[in-house]
């Protein structure tokens, strides 16, 4: 099967977790994922791991957080969102809105999180955002 790099593709998956350290150890010890970076972002701690192909983020929200993003996928641990890499963020956002999807992220925040048809949460990211993470290098910006 050929790989078309011009097509938007899933490059990132984020899990909302209740124990960042234990979850990190599990994916590191059981599956060999590599820790790339950990940072405090708005109302959560975001730890990025990689399997060499996909940026795999573990998110632990601060206690008592009530932001729209923190509640977007539900109250407890879950698959929080996935990212689709696109060439033109503004055009992709316009298409998402035209499809009737709700933008969850605050205006001006990148990545652009939205509620897709069926209720799942996804985000739009610029092409190459997660290339460094797939290579085991820290990201310059965080979600």
- The label of the residue with tokens 């949460």 reads 121
Per residue in 23-36, pLDDT (tens digit) is 999 899 978 899 99
Instruction: pLDDT band for 2, please (50, 70, 90 cuts).
Output: very low
Beta strand segments in the chain, E: 9-16, 34-41, 44-50, 55-61, 78-86, 102-103, 112-115, 121-126
Distance CA 129, CA 12 (A): 10
Bigger pLDDT: 12 vs 137: 12
What's the pLDDT band for 140 if we cut at 50, 70, 90? low
Complete domains list, the chain, with CATH: 9-134 (3.10.180.10)
Per-residue model confidence (pLDDT) at position 142: 45
- Tens digit of each residue's pLDDT (9 = 90 or more) over 60-118: 999 999 888 888 888 888 888 999 999 999 999 999 999 999 999 999 999 999 988 76
pLDDT at residue number 130: 81
What would the two tokens of residue 137 be?
A: 């290098």
């Amino acid at each position: 099967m050929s790989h078309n790099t011009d097509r938007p593709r899933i490059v990132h998956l984020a899990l909302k977790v209740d124990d960042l350290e234990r979850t990190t150890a599990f994916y590191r010890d059981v599956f060999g994922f590599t820790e790339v970076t950990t940072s405090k972002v708005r109302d959560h701690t975001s730890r990025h791991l990689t399997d060499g192909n996909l940026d795999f983020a573990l998110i632990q929200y601060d206690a008592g957080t009530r932001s729209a993003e923190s509640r977007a996928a539900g109250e407890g641990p879950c698959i929080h969102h996935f990212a689709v890499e696109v060439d033109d963020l503004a055009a992709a956002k316009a298409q998402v809105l035209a499809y009737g999807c709700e933008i969850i992220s605050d205006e001006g925040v990148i990545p652009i999180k939205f509620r897709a048809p069926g209720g799942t949460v996804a985000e739009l990211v610029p092409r190459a955002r997660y290339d460094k993470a797939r290579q085991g290098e820290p990201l310059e910006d965080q979600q």
